[in-house]
Homo-oligomer: A and B are copies of this chain.
Amino acid sequence: MATRLSDVAARAGVSVKTVSNVINDYPHITAHTRAKVEAAIAALDYRPNVSARSLRKGRSDFIALAIPEMASAYFAELGAAFSRAAKKRGITVLIEQTEGESAAEQLVLDGMRGQLIDGIVFSPITSTPAKIGAAASGKPLILLGERTTGGTFDHVAVDSVQAAFDATTHLISLGRQRIAAIGVGGGGASGTGAVRRKGYRKALKAAGIAHDPALELAGTGYHRLDGAASMRELLALPEPPDAVFCFNDLLALGALRTLADAGLSVPGDVAVVGFDDIEDGRYHSPSLTTISPDKEWLAEHTVALLLERIAGSGEAERRSLTVPYTLEIRESTAG
């Protein structure tokens, strides 16, 4: 049978109320009493009924991270970083995969129907800004990624225009002239593809290179499969590219496979840059040059901000955090 509060009280020689006060961290308890109770708790391996505690303090210490795809390495690594950041603060992260489907995203916006989650971090794909803005589950919610709502929610993102500009400028600095972009169709009008294409075109323009629509491939998704297919299309062009900026690492890894199959050398024939800095790209042969968002920073700051919202402390004004990144130059551009 499970140990009860009264067992702890009996062993410590104090009242049940005193044990309860120690567990709930009430002030005005002497160090001596606290030590006695804690020793009894340890000796009996007593575990407080946390559901009951949660009800009392009105918190569960669970937060949710809703992402489109956990099998996508970037989101998997991000999820892991969130779990670590939360664990440091005594919080557990539960991850929900929406697959970018509107019903699943609506469930998130509705607050994941239940009392068990204190707050939500949400990376939307299909939900329109209007739909996100209309969400009012009453639970703190922070948005991740390109898609914003003009200030209804706190928002955390990389400056994707600048990062795409940097990635493209790196390829230009290597003397490349026909620089393709894979993934321009990702996430609709205000999504990842559109934002990163903006930075890509800006860099070309700054270098006096006209952008060629034949070199901008939308693809049908952001997976290796899509990158491999887009690269095949590019190689079939009358004038194939000498460099490719892929809007995520999975696309880049697919493109590298197509280049290997075609017997082309990387970066000799075609230089390749990705975006995300997933582990796979670091171990690949050739290793992948990529934009590396600081995922630990992202997770730390997002969790800290969410906990501030849950506690109701801090400023009321919505905040927008910009995630730092670096350009990691590796073998796929530097030989």
Q: Encode contact with B along A53-71: 1 for CB under 8 Å, 0 otherwise.
A: 0100000101010000111
Contacts of A92 in B (CB 8 A): 96, 104, 107, 112
Q: Write the chain B residue with the least CB distance to A254.
A: B283
A233 contacts B by Cβ under 8 Å: no
Given A228-B283, A284-B284, A285-B260, answer yes or no on A71-B80 (Cβ-Cβ < 8 Å): yes
Interface size class of A (residues with CB under 8 A): 35 or more
CB distance from A181 to the nearest CB of B (A): 20
CB distance from A86 to the nearest CB of B (A): 10
Contacts of A280 in B (CB 8 A): 73, 253, 280
Contact assessment for B62 and A80 in the assembled complex, using a CB-CB cutoff below 8 Å: no
Q: What is the oligomeric copy number?
A: 2
Q: Encode contact with B along A198-234: 1 for CB under 8 Å, 0 otherwise.
A: 0000000000000000000000000110001000000
A187 contacts B by Cβ under 8 Å: no
A50 contacts B by Cβ under 8 Å: yes
Contact assessment for A70 and B80 in the assembled complex, using a CB-CB cutoff below 8 Å: yes
Task: Name A116's contact: one of B77, B115, B223 (CB within 8 Å).
Answer: B115
Contact assessment for A279 and B71 in the assembled complex, using a CB-CB cutoff below 8 Å: yes
Q: Write the chain B residue with the least CB distance to A279.
A: B224
Task: Name A283's contact: one of B60, B76, B117, B253 (CB within 8 Å).
Answer: B253
Contact assessment for B254 and A114 in the assembled complex, using a CB-CB cutoff below 8 Å: no
Please name 6 further chain A to chain B contacts, defined as beta carbons within 8 Å, in addition to the given A50-B113, A94-B96, A284-B284, sorted by A numbering: A47-B110, A70-B95, A71-B76, A71-B80, A116-B116, A261-B285
